[in-house]
A and B are shown apart, each in its own frame.
Chain A
Amino acid sequence: MSALISFAVGLLFGLGLIISGMSDPFKVLGFLDPAGNWDPSLLVVMAGALALGIPAFRLAERRSTSLRGKTMQLPSARQIDRRLVVGSALFGVGWGLAGICPGPGLVLLGAGTVNGLVFVLALLAGMSLFAWFDRLYSRRRTRFLHRQGEKNVCRTN
């Protein structure tokens, strides 16, 4: 049942991207180029999405389970750290280069365009690269904390 709902939601999301024009990179870049022939459509798309999103998340935040009794899995992170800022900045550079973000990328793939395929393969490679980097980083961090711990033990001895 979860898979069916998720499929329907993905479908609806994709139709929204196509109808809004956001699966057309030219329109997205049009928004990102106020010095050129500016296209404010993306702002209206955001406003439309937030008009339904804000009340839905208000309701969701008050509940511990979903309407189907599933655990509410909302992000708990609060801190604004280097990862958030650097990651978002890199994401923005990539978004600005092609006018494609992950959702529209998948829609372009489904539309059968070669560009969509190229973009999604690179997207998955970038995500895998992050997964590898993250494992390496967290392992090094654990080792570092472990060593710090040993030092502290020595000192107390």
Chain B
Amino acid sequence: MIIDGMPFTLWSALVGGLLIGLSAALLVLFEGRIAGVSGILGGLLSRGKTGDRAWRVAFVFGLIAAPLLYRVLAELPASRIETGPGTLVVAGLLVGFGSRLGSGCTSGHGICGLSRLSPRSLVATLVFIGSALVTVFVARHLLLPAWP
């Protein structure tokens, strides 16, 4: 659905959002765990209890398998990445380091934390959305037009 040329996709965003919320709900209600992707991945990298690994690996494989399953049912929507490889590496490093230092990312703080009405997660979410807004503004509107 396109309103006045805006790239807004209301219904697919709503259905997708409900699925994401449902998965966070299922994980906490059945397993007592937070569906935070950076925390789940990070737990695999830091030396911890070994009995704690199986569910993390399974969750990660579920995420990786999602596009494979989707492709069986329908054509996978395009993912448009206009970022060069160098910037992509810097972005990955910052996302990895920052999400671990800040104890969460868009899923852990933005979805699970806000669902718990946690003030900590509210602050984290406002800070990362704020710094992402500034980054995009600088990259797209200040640096890019000035690029030779």
Contact of B132 among A9, A32, A40, A55 (CB under 8 A): A32
Residue of A nearest to B3 (CB): A40
Say whether A12 contacts B22, CB under 8 Å: yes
Q: Which residues of B contact A136 (CB under 8 A)?
A: none
Question: Given A84-B120, A93-B135, A100-B95, are A127 and B76 neighbors across the interface (CB < 8 Å)?
Answer: no
Interface residues of A, dominant DSSP: helix
Give complex CA distance A60, B46 in Å.
Answer: 27
| A91 is an interface residue with CB less than 8 A from chain B | yes
Report how many residues on chain B are interfacial, defined by Cβ distance under 8 Å.
Answer: 111
Contact mask for chain A residues 112-129; partner B; CB cutoff 8 A; 1 contact, 0 none: 110100111111111111
Which residues 73-101 of A have a CB within 8 angstroms of B? 73-75, 77-80, 83-101
**A44 → chain B, closest Cβ, in Å?**
4
- Size range of the chain A interface in the assembly: 35 or more
Contact mask for chain A residues 50-89; partner B; CB cutoff 8 A; 1 contact, 0 none: 1111111101110001111011111101111001111111
Contact of A53 among B87, B103, B115 (CB under 8 A): B115
Of the A-B pairs whose beta carbons lie under 8 Å apart in the complex, a sample of 17, sorted by A's number, is A9-B31, A21-B9, A32-B136, A40-B8, A45-B17, A66-B31, A71-B32, A73-B32, A75-B118, A88-B123, A97-B87, A101-B106, A102-B107, A110-B66, A125-B92, A126-B100, A129-B93
Could you tell me which B residues sit within 8 Å of A by CB distance? 5-10, 12-35, 37-38, 41-42, 45-46, 54-70, 76-83, 85, 87-103, 105-107, 109-120, 123-125, 127-137, 139-141
Could you tell me which A residues sit within 8 Å of B by CB distance? 2-27, 29-30, 32-42, 44-57, 59-61, 65-68, 70-75, 77-80, 83-103, 105-113, 115, 118-131, 133-134
The 9 closest A-B pairs by CB, nearest first: A10-B62, A126-B96, A20-B16, A48-B17, A14-B66, A122-B92, A87-B102, A96-B135, A94-B94
